[in-house]
Amino acid sequence: MPFSAFPAVYPPGMDEKIAEVKELRLQLYALRDRVHQLELGLFRAVVALGSAAMVVGWFVPFLAVTEKADDEDESVAMLPTIFGIGDSGDGPFSGEAALAAVVVGAFGLAIVVALIAMLGLFRDRVGRRPVRFARVCGIVLLVACAFGWLLMFALAAHFEGRSSAFSPATLCFTVGGGAMLAAAALHPSDWRDY
């Protein structure tokens, strides 16, 4: 006769304790699932914020210039800058304009790759490899943004107040890069494997 055929005999009061332990275990599982849902919600909120910031960055001013004669502000967004800067130097600065177009184009390419990596984090089951790739893209984007900020400060110093040192587009891309690093740190599989 197998051992499991014999009924378990517990000391008096032990049945209530076993029932309490089972109830506590069920509550623990429910709490763990609830915490996981909160973690996942926070993760997706950070991903949404970073993605939105990177999309908005394409349309807000990248560079703002004030003309001294009529005090009219002129701003340039990222897309026209990428496609138009190479044609702007027909004179003696055509080489510099072409180099600037390549630099801004590389910056734009880094942003597009980072945005694609960020949008890949919206899937239901995201493994560690896309999270690591997003982390690398976030680091690359933040380094590119650091160079963008240096460029803004250099242009503001060179043009003595006619060019603004503040770039809303670069700020949006910096927020996107920071959100990518935060999302990689907040990824639920980094906390607990499911």
Q: What is the pLDDT of residues 69-111, one digit of tens each?
A: 555 556 666 666 666 655 555 555 556 566 666 777 788 888 8
Closest CA to 37 of 124, 129, 120: 124
Predicted local distance difference test score (pLDDT) of residue 136: 92
Instruction: Determine, yes or no, domain membership for 12.
Output: no
Question: At 120, which CATH number?
Answer: 1.20.140
DSSP 59: T
**Most confident residue range from 37-41, 47-51, 84-88:** 47-51
End-to-end Cα, the chain, rounded Å = 40
For residue 152, report the phi and psi dihedrals to the nearest 5 degrees. -65, -45
* Proportion of the chain above pLDDT 70, given as a percent: 65
Which comes out higher in pLDDT, residue 30 or 7? 30
Domains identified in the chain, total number? 1
Predicted local distance difference test score (pLDDT) of residue 5: 58
Predicted local distance difference test score (pLDDT) of residue 53: 92
Q: What dihedral do alpha carbons 117, 121, 122, 125 form, nearest 10°?
A: 140
Instruction: Determine, yes or no, domain membership for 161.
Output: yes
pLDDT confidence band for 184 (50 / 70 / 90): confident
Instruction: Determine, yes or no, domain membership for 58.
Output: yes
User: How far is 135 from 43, CA to CA, in rounded Å?
Assistant: 14
Instruction: Determine, yes or no, domain membership for 185.
Output: yes
Instruction: Determine, yes or no, domain membership for 26.
Output: yes
Q: Does residue 175 surpass a pLDDT of 90? A: yes
Q: Does residue 194 surpass a pLDDT of 50? A: no
Predicted local distance difference test score (pLDDT) of residue 176: 92
Predicted local distance difference test score (pLDDT) of residue 31: 92
User: How far is 189 from 194, CA to CA, in rounded Å?
Assistant: 7
As given in the structure block, the two tokens for residue 111 are 């942003």
Host domain of residue 144 = 19-191
Angle, to 10 degrees, between the axis of helix 128-158 and the axis of helix 94-119? 150
For residue 40, report the phi and psi dihedrals to the nearest 5 degrees. -65, -40
User: How far is 160 from 169, CA to CA, in rounded Å?
Assistant: 21
Instruction: Determine, yes or no, domain membership for 94.
Output: yes
Q: What dihedral do alpha carbons 53, 54, 57, 59 form, nearest 10°?
A: -100
User: How far is 115 from 47, CA to CA, in rounded Å?
Assistant: 10
130-144, 157-171, 174-188: lowest mean pLDDT where? 157-171
Q: Does residue 173 surpass a pLDDT of 80? A: yes
Predicted local distance difference test score (pLDDT) of residue 88: 56
pLDDT confidence band for 192 (50 / 70 / 90): very low
Instruction: Determine, yes or no, domain membership for 1.
Output: no
Instruction: Determine, yes or no, domain membership for 89.
Output: yes
